[in-house]
Amino acid sequence: MGGLLWAALGGITPVSATDAFDLSVGLKTLPLLSQRIVGPVNMAIVFDPGSPESRADADAIKAAADGGAEVPGGERLVPMLVAADDLSRLKGARLLFLTQGARAGAFDAVALVAAANGILSMSADLACVRANKCVLGIVSRPTVEIYFSRPAAVASHIGFTPAFTMLAKPN
């Protein structure tokens, strides 16, 4: 399914690389899920194989994850790179981190698969959350801001604590 949708890829978004701090901010939202993830956190880092920027961003996120990124609560983080045209590999993932630089058509593919599998999706590319395709948009500098898409959350059966949804910015 993901592969079919991938055929409708759009343009390339300008990129500023996702770094370890962005990743750590994303991971810090996990304790605020209304149903917390218990056990290893399988995190899919989804990239656009046709975009060098996206690929580079994925490598940067993977390096940050392998470099000691911590999940609050001490759960083990298990990162895996997943190409956007091979989203069948997303099964088993609990968390999806979409790279920057992915073309807009990838958002639909990611949203469908995340919704079908109840996966929390997030990205530092705010276009994804603004399109209601990702649940969370991450801004870590100069101050932390989290953008929240309620429609995407509902579609993925993802809930957060009331306080978090009050503090997050609506998309």
Partner 1 sequence: MSRPTTRTALWTVLSFAGGFSAGAEAQTLDYDSLENLFGEPITTAATGTPQKAHASAANMTIITADEIRQSGSRNIPQILSRVPGLDILRSGAVAYDVGVRGYQEPMQSRLLVLLDGRQVFQDDYSRTVWENLPVNVDDIRQIEVVTGAASALFGSNASGGVVNIITYSPLYETSDKASVSYGSNRTRQGDVTASGRMEDLGGIKISAGGMNGQEFGARRSSSEQGVTQDPAHRYVAASQVFQLSSDLQAFSDFSYSKSRSTEAYFSGRLGGIDDFVSSARGGFTWQSALGTIKGNAYWNHSRVENNDSSPYFVAYADTTDLFVNQLEDAFRVGSDHTFRIFGEYRHIDFRLDAPQVAPQSPALAEDVYVLGGTWLWQIRDDVSWTNAARIERLGLQETGTIWSESVMPASAYDHSLATFSDNSGVVYTLTEQDTARLAYGRGVQMPRLLDYGFIATNWNTSGSGRLQERVGNPFLKPTIVRNYEIDFDHKMPAVFSTMRTAVFFEQNTSLINTMTNVGTVQTSVSNATRTAYSVNMGDSDGYGGEIQIKGQHPSGLRWDASYSYAIVEDSPSVKSALGVGYHDSTPKHHVRLLLGYSVGPWEFDGDGEFLSSDFTRRSAGTDFSTYTPGYSTLSARIGYSLNEHLTLSLSGTNLSQARTWASAFPSVERQALLTLSARY
Residue 143 interacts with partner 1 (CB under 8 A): yes or no: yes
Distances (CA, A) of 98 to 44, 74, 125, 161, 166: 8, 23, 8, 23, 24
Q: How many residues bind partner 1 (CB under 8 A)?
A: 25
Q: Residue 99 Cβ, how far from partner 1 at the closest point, in Å?
A: 21
Q: Residue 137 Cβ, how far from partner 1 at the closest point, in Å?
A: 13
Site for partner 1 in 55-84 (CB under 8 A): 72
Tokens representing 169 are: 């910015």
Contact range with partner 1 by CB under 8 A, out of 33-41, 53-61, 86-94, 96-104: 33-41
Q: Is 149 helix (H, G, I), strand (E, B) or coil?
A: coil
Residue 29 interacts with partner 1 (CB under 8 A): yes or no: yes
Residue 43 backbone dihedrals phi, psi, to 5 degrees: -110, 120
- CA angle in degrees (0–180, nearest 5) for 6-11-12: 100
> Among 4, 16, 34, 91, which residue interacts with partner 1 (rule: CB under 8 A)?
34
Q: How big is the chain, counted in residues?
A: 171
Residues lying near partner 1 in the complex (CB under 8 A) are found at 25, 28-29, 31-32, 34-36, 38, 72, 142-144, 146, 159, 161-167, 169-171
